[in-house]
Structure 1
Amino acid sequence: MISNLEKFFTGCLHLSSPWEVTNVKMDEGQTRVDIRVRNNGKFEFFCPECGGRCQGYDKKEREWQHSDLFDMECHIHCAVDRMKCRGCGKVFMIDVPWAEKGSGFTLLFEAKGIELMREMPVKAAGSFLKTEPHKLWRILDRFVEGRMKHQNLAGLTRFYVDETACRRGHNYITIFADEDHNIIFVTYGNDASTVTRFREHLEQHGGKAENIEYICCDMGKGFQSGIAMEFPKAIVTYDRFHVMEHMS
Structure 2
Amino acid sequence: MSMENLKSRTDLSLDEINQLLDNEKDVNVFKKLLYFKFKEMGFSKIKSCELAGFPESSRYYLEDLWAEGGYNSLIPHYGGGRKSKLTEKQLNDLKIKLDSQDSWLVDDVKKLIKDEYNVEYEYQSVRNLLIRLKVPIANYFEIERDTKKISKNVIDNFEDISEKDKKEIKELILKMKEEKNIFVYQKLSYLLFRKIGFTNKEASQFLNVTTVTGNNWLKAWENKGYEGLLRKKGQGRKSKLTEKQLETLKKN
Q: Greater relative contact order (Cα 8 A, min sep 6): structure 1 or 2?
A: 2
TM-score grouping bracket, smaller chain normalisation: under 0.3
Which one has a bigger Cα radius of gyration? 1
Higher helix share: 2
TM-score, normalization by structure 2: 0.22
Which structure has more strand as a fraction of its residues? 1
